[in-house]
Structure formats: structure tokens, C-alpha cells
Amino acid sequence: GAVVSQHPSWVICKSGTSVKIECRSLDFQATTMFWYRQFPKQSLMLMATSNEGSKATYEQGVEKDKFLINHASLTLSTLTVTSAHPEDSSFYICSARDQTASGGGELFFGEGSRLTVL
């Protein structure tokens, strides 16, 4: 089945630095990828929709200058947390839709990236 790879799975950084998280669709092309954030014991919160070749669509309350999204190819989207602070510590998950599949295209998730900002 379709696989979405996310890297790194775990990162610790100092406050003020920037961290880049990659999301790759390994055996299908994804014109749209989604980035989520999840706090402990809470549901997934959609941060933004990443569109290949165009600007990402951010959800209300998500700072686009803080969370930079680039979808440079049909198999790769990146999320960069700029000038990270401890409150940015969270679990970030990406997903991609296999739009070639029957039934409307199943959504596949990456394994997630746990970010800890010291």
C-alpha cells in the first residue's frame, strides 16, 4: 500500500533555531499534503494544506511566517518551524492523499515527528 515517510521522527533543538520536517510520498504522487499538530491527549489539529507548486493554505490561527511550508514536488512537502520556542514542542504529523486510488483516494499518514524545543 501507499506509504508516507516523515523525517526526522524525533528532534530536539535549542530555542531560537529553525527545524525542518520532511514528508514524502514514497510510491504515489500527492498534489495535496496536510500538516497536523497534536498535543498530548488531544485530536489532530490541521495546521495547513500544502499544495504542490503553489502557496500553502493555512488554518485560522496558524502563523504562516512561523510555520513555513514548501511543496516543491509531487512527492515532497516540508514544514519548517522557524525560531522555535518551547511552546512549539509538539507532535507534527503529515498526510498525503493517493488521488489515483479508487474510492476517492485514501489518506495516508506519516509516522509523525516529535519536536522538543529546549
Asked if 101 interacts with other proteins (CB under 8 A), we say: no
**Minimum CB distance to other proteins, residue 24 (Å):** 14
Instruction: Please report how close the Cβ of residue 59 comes to other proteins at its closest, in angstroms.
Output: 9
Query: Tell me, what DSSP letter sits at residue 59?
Result: P
Identify whether the C-beta of residue 55 lies closer than 8 Å to the C-beta of residue 76: no
Q: Which listed residue (77, 108, 115, 117) binds other proteins by CB under 8 A? A: 108
Residue number with CB closer to other proteins (14 or 54)? 54
Phi-psi region of 112 (alpha: psi -120 to 50; beta: other; left: phi over 0): left
58: contact with other proteins by CB under 8 A: no
What are the phi and psi torsion angles at 88 (to 5°)? Answer: -85, -10
DSSP at 55: P
Interface with other proteins (CB under 8 A), residue from 93, 96, 115, 117? 93
- For residues 6, 7, 11, 17, the Cα torsion angle rounded to the nearest 10 degrees is -110
Q: Does 97 bind other proteins (CB under 8 A)?
A: yes
Note the residues at the interface with other proteins (CB under 8 A): 6, 32, 34, 41-46, 49, 51, 57, 93, 97, 103-112
